[in-house]
Amino acid sequence: MNNNNISNTDNINFRELALTKYGTIQQLIQQGIWRGEFYSKGQLTRNDRGWLWKTIVLHSDLDCGPDNNIKNNNDNNDNNNDSNLLPVPIVTDDNADSPLVGEPTSKNNGNGNNDSSNRTHNNHNDDNNKSNNDKANDTGKKLNRGIRRLTPIQTLSHPLNKNSINEGNNATKNTVVDDESISMSLSDTLDIIDLDLSRLLLDPIFQENKVHAQMRQILYNYMIILQKNEELNTTIKINRNYQQGFHEILGLIYLQLYQTSEDDDRIAMMNILKVYTKLMKQVVPNFYTRSSLISWETEKFQPILEKCSTLLYDKLYIQNDEFSNLIWLLRWTRLLFIRELPMDYVVIIWDHILTFQYPLDIFMVCLIITLLLNIFEDIIDEDEDADNDELIEKLLHYKKTSGVKLIDCVELCKIAGNLCELWSYENYEDMMCICDTFVKVRVGEEKFNRLNEILKDKAARKNANSNVVDPNRKRLEEKLKNRVKRLTINFKR
């Protein structure tokens, strides 16, 4: 595979520059990324970015404090990969219904190391991935062998079986199954992974058999980590099944890291898995578990938005239906903007996300708010005929809506970072000031003031309405008052 992005010399120059300029990873993060020094000389290539992500994500794990030296870490970079990825098991009739981890339902163990029933040679990655490709193809054939089960909730009977009709109706109450709490089987998981990978269009390389097989193996290994990992088992119950979107996040990481020049395939895959696992540790519990996505919206997104911009809050939450914002927030959060923004934007935002300077849930809120401020005039549409759905449409197609209006991405991340910081200090005044100033510059002070007046009027009208006492109640009160008066008079007498 040729990397048409870049020549090796450019690659080394960027790294040498970074290494000579910044003594520690913290400096690299603060100056290189957050102050935007990396971006001043044009776009980073994939290789550069692959190196950058490895450096900031994997090496900061060593966490040697502020003296954490990049150079040393860089030397250690690829030598601490003592473990190998697990091979993806071949799906057989025996293990197909087993969960990925835990008690297998068949006599074979389903933990992924099971290759006893496997005719082909164990697929060590160094085997030029030949056997790996065969396996992907094997499973590809399996897809057509029987019935794909891509829907977690299954029917119990054939739809044309007349006897099933009544049963189906009676069973309505029992069909509300929480598919998040049911472990998807090995074959279902691999089927949907294969389906998603076959239509991963981030880059043409994902259609190559070798890349498909590698992505599949990394995802399989991640699923094992996710299902085994007790660390994630905090107060909330998280969804540990494969979910659509996992593949695309992995795809973006793969694209930056798969070909960093000094890595062989095995090490590259291991690094990709590590970066992915670290990122997903914050993404899955916050955004891929429904209950937590809902509470993220109500407990974080809404209150922060309200502090930042009363106008946006009013438009999205007072004038809009409850929950309809989840429709667009779902994809924005689950794919970390991959589909919402141009790719050169997305990767810069990811650079910032991967510095893990702020908790991802709050940083995402602030990034989203900053992006909304960029299309403020489209959201606060003065067209009285515009309905809710049009707003959702604009937000589902942010790329089109924002067009060329977007501010520089590094600036955008800085604003979002500032909002995060202010939120943590409960400095709401400054949060609002930042956002209002931004909007004033964008739409003009006059329009901004006018919109605020309208909002105030509306609030005032609402208050006035709520002060109006129900006439029936007023009558009753009068009656009671008179009665008390009468009684008092009687008593005095």
Partner 1 sequence: MSGLRSTSGSTNGKNYDSIMKILLIGDSGVGKSCLLVRFVDDKFNPSFITTIGIDFKIKTVEINGKKIKLQLWDTAGQERFRTITTAYYRGAMGIILVYDVTDEKTFANIRQWFKTVTEHANDEAQLLLVGNKSDMDTRAVTYEQGEELSKELGIPFIESSAKNDENVNEIFSTLAKLIQEKIDSNRLAANGTGKDSNLNINSGSGSSSKANCC
Residues of this chain that interact with partner 1 (CB under 8 A) are: 144, 147-155, 158-160, 164-165, 168, 172, 175, 179, 192, 195-196, 198-201, 207, 243-245, 247-248, 290, 294, 319-324, 326-327, 330-331, 334-335, 339, 384-385, 387-389, 392-393, 396-397, 454, 458
Least Å from the CB of residue 114 to partner 1: 25
Least Å from the CB of residue 222 to partner 1: 17
Least Å from the CB of residue 291 to partner 1: 9
Indicate the residue among 1 and 201 with the shorter CB distance to partner 1. Answer: 201
Backbone angles phi, psi at 303, to 5 degrees: -60, -40
Least Å from the CB of residue 166 to partner 1: 13
Indicate the residue among 243 and 452 with the shorter CB distance to partner 1. Answer: 243
Least Å from the CB of residue 458 to partner 1: 7
Indicate the residue among 25 and 353 with the shorter CB distance to partner 1. Answer: 353
Least Å from the CB of residue 215 to partner 1: 13
Q: CB-based burial of residue 423 (10 Å sphere; 0-12 exposed, 13-18 middle, 19+ buried)?
A: buried
Indicate the residue among 68 and 187 with the shorter CB distance to partner 1. Answer: 187
d(CA 241, CA 289): 10
Indicate the residue among 125 and 189 with the shorter CB distance to partner 1. Answer: 189
Crossing angle for the helix pair 209-228 and 186-198, to the nearest 10 degrees: 140
Residue 174 to residues 155, 167, 177, 178, 447, Cα–Cα distance (Å): 12, 11, 7, 11, 54
Least Å from the CB of residue 57 to partner 1: 24
Least Å from the CB of residue 104 to partner 1: 23
Tokens of 271: 């690094």
Indicate the residue among 72 and 137 with the shorter CB distance to partner 1. Answer: 137
Crossing angle for the helix pair 409-424 and 343-353, to the nearest 10 degrees: 30
**Long-range contacts of 48-52, Cβ-Cβ distance < 8 Å, separation of 24 or more:** 48/6, 48/10, 48/11, 48/14, 48/15, 49/256, 49/347, 49/351, 50/256, 50/257, 50/258, 50/259, 50/260, 51/11, 51/14, 51/15, 51/260, 52/18, 52/351
Nearest one of 461, 439, 473 to 370, comparing CA atoms: 439
Indicate the residue among 130 and 290 with the shorter CB distance to partner 1. Answer: 290
> Residue 99: beta bridge partners?
185
| C-beta separation of 324 from 392 below 8 A | yes
Least Å from the CB of residue 19 to partner 1: 38
The three-state secondary structure class of 177 is coil
To which residue do tokens 């202010």 refer? Answer: 422
Least Å from the CB of residue 377 to partner 1: 16
Indicate the residue among 172 and 490 with the shorter CB distance to partner 1. Answer: 172
Element (H, E) at 424: helix 409-424
Indicate the residue among 12 and 202 with the shorter CB distance to partner 1. Answer: 202
To which residue do tokens 């991802």 refer? Answer: 360
Nearest one of 118, 241, 136, 238 to 189, comparing CA atoms: 241
Q: What is the dihedral of CA 222, 228, 231, 236, to 10 degrees?
A: 100
Indicate the residue among 162 and 493 with the shorter CB distance to partner 1. Answer: 162
